[in-house]
């Protein structure tokens, strides 16, 4: 009897293989039966259950549409606000641009006016320089003339001095000697 109880691991392994091989068809048959029963029942839905499923499906669709409408309404309001904001920004930028253009034209007009004034002042300066040069030339001529006349006058004065001295000499020669007494 002790020999009956003595089982080797090889024998246990063989026994397990036989059990597994025999149980595979039973497991496959059981799974296919469950699947067949499950899908057969799904095809034959109760009309109440089908209507209930349809109603639930419609309610889910309706809720999804309402959420989408709310989201769309929110998006529309958001987009309208963004559009207004962008229009305000565009208007602001257009005003700035027109102001800059106006300022640019004002600066150009002022610059042109300054150029004209500068041109007039340069012309006046050239005219004044010409007048100064004419006056300087006239002054130089007059100084030359004055020096000539001064030379002439000094020559005349010298000539007069000589003439007076000659007259004094002649008078002294011709004047009788008178005794004073």
Q: Using one digit for the tens of pLDDT, what is the confidence trace for 128-180?
A: 999 999 999 999 999 999 899 888 888 888 888 888 888 888 777 765 655 55
User: Strand (E) positions, the chain?
Assistant: none
Q: Which residue has the tokens 């709310």?
A: 70
What average pLDDT does the segment 47-65 reach?
Answer: 83
Q: Is the dihedral of CA 20, 25, 31, 34 positive or negative?
A: negative
- Please calculate the CA angle 166-169-175 and round it to the nearest 5 degrees: 135
Q: Do the beta carbons of residue 20 and residue 12 sit within 8 Å?
A: no
Q: Give the residue carrying structure tokens 């259950």.
A: 49
Q: Output the CA angle 170-174-178, nearest 5 degrees.
A: 130
- Asked whether the beta carbons of 53 and 45 are under 8 A apart, the reply is yes
> Is a pLDDT exceeding 70 seen at residue 26?
yes
Higher pLDDT, 50 or 90: 90
pTM of this structure: 0.37
- Structure-block tokens of residue 134: 């004419």
């Amino acid at each position: 009897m002790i020999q009956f109880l003595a089982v080797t691991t090889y024998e246990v392994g063989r026994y397990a293989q036989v059990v597994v091989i025999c149980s595979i068809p039973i497991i496959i048959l059981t799974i296919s039966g469950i699947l067949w029963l499950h899908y057969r029942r799904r095809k034959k839905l109760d009309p109440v259950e089908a209507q209930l499923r349809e109603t639930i499906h419609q309610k889910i669709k309706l809720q999804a549409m309402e959420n989408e409408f709310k989201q769309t309404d929110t998006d529309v309001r958001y987009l309208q606000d963004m559009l207004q904001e962008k229009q305000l920004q565009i208007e602001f930028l257009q005003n700035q641009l027109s102001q800059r253009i106006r300022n640019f034209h004002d600066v150009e007009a002022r610059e042109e006016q300054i150029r004209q004034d500068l041109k007039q002042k340069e012309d006046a300066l050239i005219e004044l320089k010409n007048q100064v040069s004419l006056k300087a030339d006239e002054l130089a001529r007059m100084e030359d003339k004055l020096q000539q006349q001064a030379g002439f006058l000094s020559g005349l004065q010298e000539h007069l001095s000589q003439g007076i001295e000659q007259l004094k000499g002649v008078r002294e020669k011709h004047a009788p000697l008178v005794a004073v007494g």
